[in-house]
Chains A and B, each alone.
Chain A
Amino acid sequence: MVAIQAKHLTKVYRWYARRADLFKEMLCFNQRTYHKQRLALDDVSFEVGTGESIGVMGQNGAGKSTLLKLLAGLSVPTSGSFEVNGKVAALLELGTGFHPDYSGIENVRINGMLLGLSRREAEQKLPAIVEFAELQDVIHQPLRTYSTGMQARLAFAIATALQPDILLIDEVLAVGDAYFVNKCIHYLQRFIGSGGTVLVVSHNSFLLGRLCHKILWLEGGRFRQFDTAQAVCRAYDLHVRKLESARQEQGGRPAGGQQWGSGEIRIRSVQLLNREEQPEHAYFCGERMLVRIHYEAASLYENPSVYVLVTRQDGVLATSCFSGEEPADVGLFQGTGFVDVVFDPLLLGDGAYWLSAGIFPHKQGPESIYRLDPFDYHERVCEFTMKRPTRPLQTAFDHPVTWVHRSGR
């Protein structure tokens, strides 16, 4: 059976520079228009069977939320149509209509009714909601004393009480702690198992992969792909990686990095190269990354210390290497040339990273970076991102392991 069938769904938003323009247009019978159009959703068709769970993926402005709004009945399509079979509940935002001064329990009553429950239903479902949210201890306290995570829990718990046939969820699982997100996912899996239909919007390909049978990929309001979760996740990650690389290729040096040093040897540029020695700024875990540091030496210098520092953009020092410490002989620096630092395999976890590079006088440690003058030091000279398409958890890095099993006889 078909739960959702969308045919050529199109949504055009009108933008009026001034509100008065809207009235000019409504009142004047001439054909002049006073608005600009923005195509939020462009001819999207798809079909979702009952009991299926569908992810909707795409970059910002891809039309994901617009699609959900149309299906939820919060907006009317400009053209095209859709059919929905069953009771729909939409979770577009957690805690809509919550009042901070009211207690948790009062908010459950009010919110339940705002979402369409009758007074009696709201009362009946109260214990189950409180239990699901695991807020028994604080349910009589005002909502403003709750943490964001607790509020999210309460809001999701209320949504579970609506018992819809079709659940539309927009990126709301991003809040809340890992424990609760897991609980929500388990709930959704049970919901799907019992014949419920789910449509989830998320940027998180891991979450979608875990939850969804199929994924709809939208780009710029247009249909791009509708396939199994695995296939779309992989394609999407590759696509994002390409975009990321292109952006950093154009952007050149990231902002904010400083550069200092005595200048006897200068770093002319730093490149990140992939296995084919092509510039690349997005890597999958386990790939090879080559850091090529081009230098220009004013005079001959024997075996200076080359330093590379990788910091994750949230501030974590991810890894560093220092040729003076290893110790590695990088040889004689003369004129221009380059040094390659090879990371193979690159084991860093998901995230965006900065790379800093420096050249120091022989055997002076990186601990002296801020005390002794390097020849040249370029802070945050490159940017790159890491992606691990297949692994479930986002960890700091992939540690290589070996497995041993001895049967207990």
Chain B
Amino acid sequence: MVGTSYIITRSFSESLSGLLRHLELIRMLTADELRRMQIGSVVGLYWVLIKPLSLVGLYGVLFGVVFQTRGGPNQTAAEYLIVLLTGLLPWLLFSEAVSAAAGSITANTSLVTKIVFPIEILPVSKVLGSTISGLAGLALLVALLAFLHQVGWTLVLLPLLLVAQLFFTIGLAWLLSAVNVAVRDTSQVLPLALTMWMFVSPVVYTTEMVPKAFATVFLCNPMSYFIEGYRMILLANQPPTALIWVVVTIMAIAVFLAGLWVLCRMRALIADLI
């Protein structure tokens, strides 16, 4: 195929550099994504806050009041709520983005089969759109913590952790959106899987609350490193440990590249299967 380069036959490295060339397109689609969220509902942008707030309310009442979950003997319900928030908001950032992006290729059949289009852009803009709207909740949490005089200089590390999580999320979104074309059940199973994943991650509890016997569960779970990182930054005013940075960075890069690689390998198959 001389004289013209086709996206469908792009190699992995071409796809990787192609991402930079498609930044404009990514930006446009992300803006479009944010706009659609607003257009689609009467409450518009308020959804961005209502959903996390109602979940926080639900888990807060369930674990803080009914189950009386506490981090320590002297922890009040309000203090537990803060612990819950620092785990739940980053988790929601991740899980909402993944579940939104998993169906992004299947939902845009015509972009795949009718026009020459870099399909790897679709999950990316979904994740970005979801993340940007989710940041509102996180910003509110930071404001609340600042009001309670609980944030320190470590806050500057928060964006770094967020970027790492973003790359991790995008990688997973690529993987799942590609698999979803071949196995349509993926988007059905995903909510269940994510809920299960949430409960094995230190979201509604902290790692200290769990018996040592279960420690390996957290060691094998990438999300527990992210959430531990957030808690250290936001609650303990400490920089995350070197282990957290190492694991988080490796995870982000590895999953990002693996996701794109799988999508590249499956691109021709996706075009015929979809």
- B6 x A23 contact (CB < 8 A): no
What residues of chain A lie closer than 8 Å to B182, measured between beta carbons? Answer: 19, 22-23
- A76 x B116 contact (CB < 8 A): no
- B115 x A96 contact (CB < 8 A): yes
A198 interface hit (Cβ, 8 Å): no
Which residue from A20, A22, A90, A119 sits with its C-beta under 8 Å from B116?
A90
- B1 x A75 contact (CB < 8 A): no
- B4 x A74 contact (CB < 8 A): no
- Interface 9-residue window, one of B24-32, B52-60, B130-138, B215-223: B24-32
- A81 x B1 contact (CB < 8 A): yes
Which residue from A19, A76, A99 sits with its C-beta under 8 Å from B8?
A76
- B1 x A82 contact (CB < 8 A): yes
Query: What separation, in Å, do the CA atoms of A119 and B4 have in the docked complex?
Result: 22
What residues of chain B lie closer than 8 Å to A118, measured between beta carbons? Answer: 24
- B9 x A90 contact (CB < 8 A): no
- A75 x B115 contact (CB < 8 A): no
| Residues of B within 8 A of A (CB-CB), count | 30
Which residue from A20, A114, A119 sits with its C-beta under 8 Å from B111?
A114
- B1 x A19 contact (CB < 8 A): no
Evaluate whether A23 and B183 lie within 8 angstroms (CB atoms) in the complex, with A86-B3, A115-B115 already known: yes
A92 interface hit (Cβ, 8 Å): yes
A391 interface hit (Cβ, 8 Å): no
- A74 x B113 contact (CB < 8 A): yes
A131 interface hit (Cβ, 8 Å): no
Nearest-CB residue, chain A, relative to B6: A73
- Mark A89-133 against chain B: 1 for CB-CB distance below 8 A, else 0: 010110011010100000001100111101100000000000000
A83 interface hit (Cβ, 8 Å): yes
A357 interface hit (Cβ, 8 Å): no
Least distance between A276 CB and chain B CB atoms (Å): 48
A140 interface hit (Cβ, 8 Å): no
What residues of chain B lie closer than 8 Å to A210, measured between beta carbons? Answer: none
B110 interface hit (Cβ, 8 Å): yes
What residues of chain B lie closer than 8 Å to A19, measured between beta carbons? Answer: 182-184
Nearest-CB residue, chain B, relative to A119: B24
A224 interface hit (Cβ, 8 Å): no
Query: What separation, in Å, do the CA atoms of A84 and B115 have in the docked complex?
Result: 17
Evaluate whether A93 and B114 lie within 8 angstroms (CB atoms) in the complex, with A82-B1, A113-B28 already known: yes
What residues of chain B lie closer than 8 Å to A275, measured between beta carbons? Answer: none
What residues of chain B lie closer than 8 Å to A90, measured between beta carbons? Answer: 114-116
Nearest-CB residue, chain A, relative to B273: A22
- Mark B9-31 against chain A: 1 for CB-CB distance below 8 A, else 0: 10000000000000011001000
What residues of chain A lie closer than 8 Å to B113, measured between beta carbons? Answer: 69, 74, 92
Least distance between B137 CB and chain A CB atoms (Å): 26
What residues of chain B lie closer than 8 Å to A247, measured between beta carbons? Answer: none
Nearest-CB residue, chain A, relative to B9: A76
Query: What separation, in Å, do the CA atoms of A200 and B9 have in the docked complex?
Result: 24
A301 interface hit (Cβ, 8 Å): no
Query: What separation, in Å, do the CA atoms of A86 and B6 have in the docked complex?
Result: 12
A14 interface hit (Cβ, 8 Å): yes
- A84 x B4 contact (CB < 8 A): yes
Interface residues of A (CB under 8 A from B): 13-14, 19-20, 22-23, 69, 72-76, 81-88, 90, 92-93, 96-97, 99, 101, 109-110, 113-116, 118-119
Supply 22 A–B pairs (Cβ within 8 Å), ascending by A: A13-B272, A19-B182, A19-B183, A69-B113, A72-B116, A73-B4, A74-B8, A75-B8, A75-B271, A76-B9, A81-B1, A82-B1, A84-B1, A85-B4, A86-B3, A88-B116, A92-B115, A93-B110, A97-B108, A109-B28, A113-B24, A118-B24
Q: Which 8 A-B pairs have the closest CB atoms?
A: A73-B6, A85-B3, A76-B268, A93-B114, A96-B114, A96-B110, A92-B114, A84-B4
